[in-house]
Structure 1
């Protein structure tokens, strides 16, 4: 799968409604995950709103995140949290489950997860614990 006919990934995945559904399916999984849940505040809604803005921009939609918060600088924003490979894998796993839950086609799901691996692993800032 690739971007075709001038369509962005954002367009191919269904734009704002799909990203909103994805974020809403994703964060309950994150909150329930034993490695990820403790990293997030009890009131997850501000985090969900930022994720919606970021994913919209990341997948080629409007620059919503940058318009509101400036350059994403996501690695720097994640530095206060201990991000291990195990946590990055868990994050990707929750995202995969959320994509399945909203009925995303398998080829699109694989493509998006491949795209998200780069940032997920780039945020790693500490080795896994033994």
Structure 2
């Protein structure tokens, strides 16, 4: 029987790896002229909350939904912020840089799935940040998988 395919969460290194990612990422955000104004009032727990959210999205424990309010809470963090395309693009660029810096897996299958989620999720956040947007109604987060390219040894 073949080994089960690991989740993106497992492949990334679990909660510890995602916490390293979000800590490095938000340091970059707070030093960035374009993004810092949007995040200067974030709580000290924000990077860890985002790590928990990403953990659930990537197939880890459903803690963001069970303990933090799930998709409705995520929506509340973006509603009315009117995120601009250049802000979204910078956000994605900085999280990809942080992923390199903290040593998240760099194999093509993981990075393809990781980049795809960051693009998809940030575009959703931008759309849901617009006044009058009509986001989907659900409680839990969308779980992101490997897509077309499961992990392989390279």
Same fold (TM over 0.5): yes
1:111 positional shift: 2.6
Q: Is the 8 A contact 1:23 1:48 kept in 2?
A: yes
What is the TM-score with the length of structure 2 in the denominator?
0.71
Question: Does residue 1:32 correspond to 2:34, yes or no?
Answer: no
SS in 2 for 1:81: coil
CA distance in 2, matches of 1:44, 1:71: 18
Aligned to 1:122: 124
Single out whichever of 111-120 and 65-74 deviates more from structure 2.
Answer: 65-74
1:97 positional shift: 0.6
1:26 positional shift: 0.6
Unaligned runs of 5+ in 1: none
Aligned to 2:148: none
CA distance in 1, matches of 2:124, 2:53: 16
1:6 positional shift: 3.6
Judging by fraction of residues, say which structure has more helix.
1
Single out whichever of 68-77 and 99-108 deviates more from structure 2.
Answer: 68-77
Q: Deviations over 1:104-130 (max 9, x none)?
A: 31523343011221110111245xxxx
Aligned to 1:23: 22
Unaligned runs of 5+ in 2: 131-154
Aligned to 1:52: 51
Computed over aligned residues only, the root mean square deviation of the Cα atoms, in angstroms, reads 1.9
Q: Is the 8 A contact 1:99 1:109 kept in 2?
A: no
What is the TM-score with the length of structure 1 in the denominator?
0.83
1:93 positional shift: 0.5
Superposition map of 1:1-130 within 5 A: 5-42=4-41, 44-73=43-72, 74-104=74-104, 105-107=106-108, 108-124=110-126, 125=129
CA distance in 2, matches of 1:25, 1:12: 19
SS in 2 for 1:123: helix
Q: Is the 8 A contact 1:75 1:122 kept in 2?
A: no
Mark the structure with the bigger radius of gyration: 2
Higher RCO (C-alpha 8 Å, min separation 6): 2
Q: Is the 8 A contact 1:10 1:60 kept in 2?
A: yes
1:14 positional shift: 1.1
